[in-house]
Structure 1
Amino acid sequence: MKKWRFGLLVMAAFVMLVLAACTNSDPDAAPETDADADSQEEGEQQEAAVNEDGKVEIEFWHAMSGGGQESLDAIAEGFNESQDKYVVKPEFQGSYEELLTKLRSIGGTKDAPALMQVFEIGTKYMIDSGYIEPVQKFIDEDGYDLSQLEENILNYYSVDGELYSMPFNSSTPVLLYNKDAFREAGLDPEKAPETFADVIHASSQLKTDEMYGFSMLTYGWFFEELLATQGGLYVNEENGRAGNATEAVFNGPEGLNVFRFLDTMNKEGTFGNFGTNWDDIRAAFSSGKVAMYMDSSAGIANAIESSPFEVGAAYIPHADEVKRHGVIIGGASLWMSKGIADEEQQAAWEFMKYLTTPEIQAKWHLDTGYFAINPDAYEEDIVKEKWAEYPQFQVTVNQLQDTEPSVVTQGALISVFPESRQQIVTALENLYQGADPQQVLDEAVEGTNRAIEIANQTNQ
Structure 2
Amino acid sequence: MKLKTAGLLALTVSTLTLIPAIASAGEVVWWTPNWGEARSKELAEKFQAANPGITIKMEVTTSDGLAQRVLTALQSGAAPDIIEVQHGWVNNYAQNGMVVPLDDVIQDKEDFNTAAINNVSWDGKLWAIPYRMETHGFIYNKGAFKAAGLDPEKAPETWDDLVAVATALSKDGKFGFAITGGGEVGNTIFRSLPLIWMNGGNIVSDDLTTAVVNSPEAVAAVKYY
Query: TM-score, with normalisation over the residues of structure 2?
Result: 0.77
Letter in 1 for 2:219: L
> How much has 1:108 moved relative to structure 2?
4.8
Q: 1:260 to 1:118 in 2, by over 3 A?
A: closer
The equivalent residue for 2:218 is: 255
Q: Secondary structure at the match of 1:138?
A: coil
Letter in 2 for 1:76: A
> How much has 1:99 moved relative to structure 2?
2.4
Q: Secondary structure at the match of 2:137?
A: strand
- Work out whether 1:83 is the aligned partner of 2:51: yes
The equivalent residue for 1:360 is: none
Letter in 2 for 1:87: T
1:61/1:99 contact within 8 Å kept: no
Q: Secondary structure at the match of 1:78?
A: helix
> How much has 1:114 moved relative to structure 2?
0.9
Letter in 2 for 1:80: Q
> How much has 1:210 moved relative to structure 2?
3.4
Structure 1 CA distance for aligned equivalents of residues 123 and 140 of structure 2: 39
The equivalent residue for 1:117 is: 84
Q: 1:125 to 1:190 in 2, by over 3 A?
A: farther
Q: 1:170 to 1:72 in 2, by over 3 A?
A: same
Q: Secondary structure at the match of 1:174?
A: coil
For structure 2, list consecutive stretches of 5 or more residues without a partner in the other structure: 1-19, 183-187
More helix per residue: 1
**CA deviation string 1:19-47 (max 9, x = no partner):** xxxxxxxxxxxxxxxxxxxxxxxxx9x9x
Q: 1:222 aligns with which of 180, 187, 191?
A: 191
Q: 1:213 to 1:231 in 2, by over 3 A?
A: same
Q: Secondary structure at the match of 2:27?
A: strand
The equivalent residue for 1:93 is: 61
1:38-437 equivalences in 2 (<5 Å):
55-65=25-35, 68-95=36-63, 98-139=65-106, 144-159=107-122, 161-216=124-179, 217-218=181-182, 219-236=188-205, 238=206, 242-243=207-208, 245=209, 247-262=210-225
Letter in 2 for 1:254: E
**CA deviation string 1:359-389 (max 9, x = no partner):** xxxxxxxxxxxxxxxxxxxxxxxxxxxxxxx
> How many residues are matched?
199
More strand per residue: 2
> How much has 1:199 moved relative to structure 2?
1.0
Q: 1:224 to 1:87 in 2, by over 3 A?
A: same
Q: 1:159 to 1:90 in 2, by over 3 A?
A: same
Q: 1:228 to 1:209 in 2, by over 3 A?
A: same
Structure 2 CA distance for aligned equivalents of residues 185 and 224 of structure 1: 31
Larger Rg: 1
For structure 1, list consecutive stretches of 5 or more residues without a partner in the other structure: 1-43, 50-54, 263-460
Letter in 2 for 1:261: Y
Letter in 1 for 2:72: S
Letter in 1 for 2:204: V
Q: 1:191 to 1:129 in 2, by over 3 A?
A: farther
Structure 2 CA distance for aligned equivalents of residues 160 and 132 of structure 1: 13
Structure 1 CA distance for aligned equivalents of residues 195 and 26 of structure 2: 45
Letter in 2 for 1:234: I
Structure 1 CA distance for aligned equivalents of residues 216 and 172 of structure 2: 34
2:195/2:222 contact within 8 Å kept: no
Runs of 4+ in 1 over 3 A off after TM superposition: none
**CA RMSD of the aligned region, Å?**
2.5
The equivalent residue for 1:368 is: none
Q: 1:60 to 1:254 in 2, by over 3 A?
A: same
Letter in 2 for 1:64: N
2:32/2:40 contact within 8 Å kept: no
Q: 1:260 to 1:109 in 2, by over 3 A?
A: closer
Structure 2 CA distance for aligned equivalents of residues 73 and 125 of structure 1: 28
1:133/1:164 contact within 8 Å kept: yes
Query: TM-score, with normalisation over the residues of structure 1?
Result: 0.40
Letter in 2 for 1:127: A
Structure 2 CA distance for aligned equivalents of residues 259 and 58 of structure 1: 43
Letter in 1 for 2:74: G
Structure 2 CA distance for aligned equivalents of residues 259 and 122 of structure 1: 23
Structure 2 CA distance for aligned equivalents of residues 194 and 64 of structure 1: 36
The equivalent residue for 2:185 is: none
Percent identical pairs in the alignment equals 28
